[in-house]
A and B are shown apart, each in its own frame.
Chain A
Amino acid sequence: NAGVMQNPRHLVRRRGQEARLRCSPMKGHSHVYWYRQLPEEGLKFMVYLQKENIIDESGMPKERFSAEFPKEGPSILRIQQVVRGDSAAYFCASSPVGGAYEQYFGPGTRLTVT
Chain B
Amino acid sequence: QQQVKQSPQSLIVQKGGIPIINCAYENTAFDYFPWYQQFPGKGPALLIAIRPDVSEKKEGRFTISFNKSAKQFSLHIMDSQPGDSATYFCAATRQRSSGDKLTFGTGTRLAVRP
Q: Which of A49-65 contact B (CB under 8 A)?
A: 50, 55-56, 58-59
Give me 15 A-to-B residue pairs in the complex whose CB atoms sit less than 8 angstroms apart, sorted by A's number. A35-B104, A41-B106, A42-B106, A43-B44, A43-B89, A48-B99, A48-B100, A91-B43, A101-B96, A101-B100, A103-B34, A105-B46, A106-B43, A108-B42, A108-B43
How far, in whole Å, are A41 and B107 apart by their CA atoms in the complex? 7
How many residues from A make CB contacts under 8 Å with B? Answer: 30
In the complex, B62 has a CB within 8 A of chain A:
no
User: Which chain B residues lie closer than 8 Å to A45 at the CB level?
Assistant: 101-103
CB distance from A97 to the nearest CB of B (A): 7
Are the CB atoms of B99 and A95 closer together than 8 Å?
Answer: yes
User: Which chain A residues lie closer than 8 Å to B43 at the CB level?
Assistant: 4, 6, 91, 105-108
Q: Which size bracket describes the interface of B in this complex? A: 20 to 34
Residues of A in contact with B (beta carbons under 8 Å apart): 4, 6, 31, 33, 35, 41-45, 48, 50, 55-56, 58-59, 91, 93, 95, 97-98, 100-108
Are the CB atoms of A100 and B102 closer together than 8 Å?
Answer: no
Render B20-43 as a binary contact track against A, CB cut-off 8 A, 1 for contact: 000000000000101010000011
In the complex, B49 has a CB within 8 A of chain A:
yes
Main SS of the interface on chain B? loop
A43, A56, A101, A106 pick with most chain B CB within 10 angstroms: A101
How far, in whole Å, are A41 and B49 apart by their CA atoms in the complex? 22
User: Which chain B residues lie closer than 8 Å to A102 at the CB level?
Assistant: 34, 46, 49
User: Which chain A residues lie closer than 8 Å to B107 at the CB level?
Assistant: 41-42
Residues of B in contact with A (beta carbons under 8 Å apart): 6, 32, 34, 36, 42-46, 49, 89, 93-107
How far, in whole Å, are A78 and B20 apart by their CA atoms in the complex? 39
CB distance from B105 to the nearest CB of A (A): 6
User: Which chain B residues lie closer than 8 Å to A42 at the CB level?
Assistant: 6, 89, 104-107
How far, in whole Å, are A74 and B104 apart by their CA atoms in the complex? 25
User: Which chain B residues lie closer than 8 Å to A35 at the CB level?
Assistant: 102, 104
Are the CB atoms of A101 and B101 closer together than 8 Å?
Answer: no
Closest residue of B by beta carbon distance from A110: B41
